[in-house]
Every structure is written in C-alpha cells, then in structure tokens.
Amino acid sequence: MSAASMAGKTVLITGGNSGIGLVAATALAGMGARVVLACRRSQAAEAAAQQIRAAHPGAGVETVALDLASLESVRRAAREVRERFPVIDVLLNNAGLANVSRETSQDGFELTFATNHLGPFLFTRLLLPAMAPEGRIINVASEAHRMGRMHWDDLQLTDNYWVMRAYAQSKLANILFTRELADQLAGTGIAVSALHPGAVSTSIWPENRWYERAFTRVLKLFLISPEKGARTSIWLASGVEGGKSRGGYFERCKPRQPSARARDKADQTRLWTLSEQLTGLPAFSDKELSA
C-alpha cells in the first residue's frame, strides 16, 4: 500500500482529536483516506475534524463517540462503526492514558489498564468482521513496556499503585495483545503491528491536580513533538511494510525486538483469555471474522 493508494481507504483512529493521533489523521486524510475519529469528547473530535478539513479541503473526515474506559461505550461505538463504515482498512488504536493517582473505570477496572488495554482489546475484537481482507491493525505501545510486568495477582494495582507501574503494565499488555492477535489471525490477510512513537509530548499525561501539573511539566522538557511521534503510525498505516507485519514491533519506522516478557507466549495467551473474561467476550473463533 503506497501513500497514493490511501484514496478510497477508511482509517479509524482512536483518540484522533489531539497529539500524534491528530497528526496521523491529518497526514492520512491528505493522502486521500477517509478518516474516522473515535474520541471520548465529541466537541473536541468535531473541532479536530474541522481542522483536518481546513488543511485538506474535500477530505472525508467523520467522528464517532468512544470512551475506551467504558465497556458499554466501546460496544455502542463498535456497533455504530459497523453500521456506518462496513469496511475498515486501517484500525489505529492510538488513544492512551497515564494517571498519576489510581482511579477506577465505571466497570471497576484500574483506569489506565481499562483505557489502554481492555477498551482497545474489546473494540478491536468487535470490529474484526469489518476489517478489510488485507486490513491493518496498529497498536500504539511504548518502550515503557520494558519497565513493565503483568501483575497477575493484582492486575488492577490495588496495592502499591504508581503511575509508571500502571502505564508500563498497560503498554506491555499492548504488545502481548498484538502478538497474540497476530497468532489468532494467522492465515488471514490482516496485518497486525505495535509501535513505540517515541517519548511524545501529548495530552495523555494528566494536569488536573497541582502535583500532576508539576510532574507533567517536568516530563515534557524531555519529550518530542507529536509530528515526530506520529511518523511510525503513518508509515505503518500507509507504507508497504505495514501490510506485511504479523505481530511486529516498530520504532522510527524500523522493526525492533520487544522485551523478553513481551515475547512470552504463555503470557500472551493468559492475557488474551483473561481479557475475554473481563470484557465478557466468548472465546475467539474464526466465525468472528464474518459475524
């Protein structure tokens, strides 16, 4: 898939209203793709859509309401997407969260884990029947996964919560999910990949409380721009290499080997099965691709 061939393609991006998601959405719309922004805040999504249309007059940009921290919202959004967009060529699971203090979702899950893993897991699974025969599923992970481990005895981090412990666990989960999804889809034409965008200055870092603002302002001194951070997402969505990936992990538009923990097949399978249970999904079946 070259850049020119994005014409006629439908690209669904979660969290596409800001940061690297907005940069990627703008670039792909400029290549001719119809871009769908799946975002938690509808007003922000529409403002982003208008911004993209201003940059690329005539671009097809649409929005869908999606709160990844709510399983009900994920199911509702997936139904709407399948009704409005029967074929998805690229699903870019881009939205993410990092909470300085522990919070829980309305479903009772630790909020970072719910937003960064369980929501995208469910959303992706529900959209599989809509994926094009040679579609692409791209998960934005992070090099922070190398700091992480799956806390199987306390997955919701009820004890000893720390922002980087939660974030690193969720990013490790992203890669475990990517690799297991690729295994489950073996024999299909659907490409699956994960990526590290770089340490990017985005809105995932909260600034609601004074200590969160202080933490985020110091952190941003060491972060790169969203424009640089979006390059690998755009490359995987539009380039030839992205269509060949079967669970690969990429950084700066090049393949990279993830951590040993991320390559643990037993953990891949364990997380997949547990995620099905937590989201109320039945065990995966090939029939799911045409449901």
Residues 140 and 96 sit within 8 Å (Cβ to Cβ): yes
Note whether 102 and 135 are within 8 A (CB): no
The token pair at 40 is 């938690």
β-strands 88-93, 131-140 pairing: parallel
| Distance from C-alpha of 29 to C-alpha of 23, rounded to nearest angstrom | 10
Cβ(115)–Cβ(105) below 8 Å: yes
Cite the active site residues.
Answer: 167
Residues 6+ positions from 236 with CB-CB distance below 8 Å: 136, 138, 193, 195, 242, 245, 250
DSSP string, 203-232: TTS--SSHHHHHHHHHHGGGPBPHHHHTHH
How far is residue 215's CA from residue 209's CA, in Å, rounded to a whole number?
10
d(C-alpha 216, C-alpha 163), whole Å: 12
Nearest-angstrom CA–CA distance, 250 and 257: 8
25 within 8 A of 37, measured Cβ to Cβ: yes
CB 66 within 8 A of CB 80: no
